[in-house]
Chain A
């Protein structure tokens, strides 16, 4: 939150308290503003929050621990499919949300450890290639595990997934306040996701300024020196993979419940790359960077889509460039511009690894 506040232009440096309030108000008011442009924009905001969770989780692996992961979306898939298996007519199982969510997180963490073990000794390019392969393997499993026994329903995916129900309160139903006034379900999901993102930020921030966060930073900076001060790099790598995957798994569960439908299509390599781009774009290794990177790069393509499609129709009479192509074009463009103009990311704040309360005031930064 402090990092995020400091990232607010102009105000962030002068009045951090005001900047914090501004962020809070914006976060709460965002769907109301988006509603003015149509309900699809609130939906886009909901997805932006899911991307934030993904970016936060991936940032933990790539930014904190320094382990390049190109198959991160696989954990999102594990979470989403866990939810689909355990709360849909597919297997005729309808477990409650508060039970499936931890299960999804746990399965994703397990998948993270499964990926972690074989890549313990790998670094850089090799690590990138193996993780990329892992992501594809998971997707191909989802695609093909419909025969001989139908587990995943193959390319058709699984539909009619149960919505999020908390204490008997169904988030997919509009909340009727008075007879004439109801809160749209999209808002309910927005605030639920917002709470998850806030919780994630809090947890990750606490991790960063702990002995674990410092050990990850040490490992990232110099693995040999990290070992020489007694850091068990094997366990810490596995922990990074497992924890990073947990966030992916939770986001996946939310995604499955929110969308009501999952299919392998949603978990392609391109999605992994998109999330990685958000992390790098925002500024690797810092929390505010992941949040803002995800927000900007989840929203921009949608804005572009709303402008480009009608524009193309008006000019050419039909759509030349598919919006999905435009999105990839935009992400690549963002990366190239970033590398040229601001290689350390949009918010290149140096991450801190000590609790500010414990620091001595006398020593100047």
Chain B
């Protein structure tokens, strides 16, 4: 299969703390790739570096055959990488629909002049943005809450909304940071189905998750981080039996669920 994302020797330091050390990994087009590891292993930091929120101290990313700019979030999104956050970050005062519509910003072009005179292109684009937002809300199963202010949504629905908003940027790689955190078994089951559907529709998924069952059931391959280093990368069944991985989880004293 074709390589979609290649991380080469990514390093990131926070003062005296080496959050990421020489992390290299390859994600293939169309797979669900898991990124696991004990608390504080550097998983979220990897997301932040990948999506341009932080600049790496060393290394770089190749995405879809080209170098990925570092430290420029909007250009990363334009290239086709979208993310969600570990602690949900919605536009709280906006409705669900408006949240998703905002996500479509980067794929639209209307300028100030077009908006002022409301030319055909602007009106057409606006209509498409709205229609697409409804579609995506339906896709993640919360269309009935389209007009609900997002902070009033239930926790699980907020997570789904965040996924819909990320999908509105039309990504080729969707990076999910612990999407099942705080969900009960039924909600997690539905989330699993959703992620499978997203993959089925041709979007590659990079998944950070503590829920071992979800990771094992969903991921084609898994990488394990520990203290900022990649200690394993393979299919779930092999990683599960890896000595270093077992030691990392037990040694850290912090079990995954």
* A interface residues, Cβ below 8 angstroms from B: 203, 206-207, 209-212, 214-215, 217-218, 221-222, 224-233, 239, 243, 350, 352-355, 358-360, 363-365
Contacts and interface: CB of A to CB of B under 8 A. Distances in A.
A209 B73 CA distance: 24
Interface string B35-56: 0000000000000000111000
Given A210-B110, A210-B122, A230 B131 contact: no
Contact of A350 (B78, B93, B115): B93
B146 interface: yes
Interface in B232-248: none
A173 B145 CA distance: 58
Given A221-B92, A230-B77, A353 B166 contact: no
A105 B125 CA distance: 29
Interface string B65-92: 0000000011011100011010001111
Given A222-B90, A353-B98, A358-B131, A227 B116 contact: no
A221 B91 contact: yes
B173 to A, nearest CB: 13
Contact of A354 (B74, B83, B85, B130): B130
A230 B101 contact: no
A210 B147 contact: no
A352 B98 CA distance: 8
Given A210-B110, A217-B91, A358-B130, A229 B97 contact: no
Interface of B: 51-53, 73-74, 76-78, 82-83, 85, 89-95, 97-98, 101-106, 108, 110, 112, 115-116, 118, 122, 125-127, 129-131, 134, 143-147, 149, 165-166, 168-169
Contacts of B97: 354, 359, 363
**A215, A228, A229, A358: residue with the most chain B Cβ atoms closer than 10 Å:** A228
B147 A231 contact: no
A221 B131 contact: no
A229 B165 contact: yes
Contact of B105 (A207, A230, A363): A230
Contacts of A364: 147
B116 A354 contact: no
B82 A229 contact: yes
A229 B168 contact: yes
A144 B115 CA distance: 40
A350 B94 CA distance: 9
Counting from the closest, the 3 A-B pairs by CB-CB distance are A230-B77, A230-B106, A221-B91
B141 to A, nearest CB: 14
